[in-house]
Amino acid sequence: MIIVLIGFLNTPAQAQNTDGLILKGRVVNARHVREIAKYVDVKISLVLQFVNTGSEPIIILKPWLDHAFWHGGTCLSKTIDDALAYKCYFSDGMWLSISRGDEYRRLADQLDQHTPPPSLIMILKPGEAWSTESEITIRFEDDVKSYRVPWGEMKR
């Protein structure tokens, strides 16, 4: 599964619609660790590139506080065709993007200005690109009775 993920992320994006934002990802490193009993975490280091392929500027929220870009969900597929069709062999995460936490309220207050601070936003002009590094973690249970795909099966 990791090989398909790595192959998919290393494949250059083919833009079919040139009016928007393209996100390209390149895997720098992938390793698995056992930091918590009964779980195996696969940590994937990425270089992300945001490319404005449209005709208008795009505003992007930069990573803030101690956060990189948050990994909101995983969909691992057996083939690239399955990935493109969102047919997941293993999926996890994918929660609502609304939080009422204090840190988000502070972020909203900082952004709710006539001109948000450059420390929080990136404005990509048409044709511009911006790259950043991030790490995601995909967690597998190390239990054959897991309701998700267990680590042993993922290794095979």
How far, in Å, CA of 139 to CA of 80, rounded?
A: 21
HSE of 121, CA atoms in CB hemisphere, 13 A = 17
pLDDT in tens, 104-115: 888 888 889 888
pLDDT at 51: 95
**Domains of the chain: residue spans and CATH:** 2-155 (2.60.40)
Residue 30, strand partner residues: 44
Calculate mean pLDDT across residues 47-72.
82
pLDDT at 94: 62
Structure tokens at 86: 């969102």
Sign of CA dihedral 45, 111, 105, 97: negative
pLDDT at 146: 67
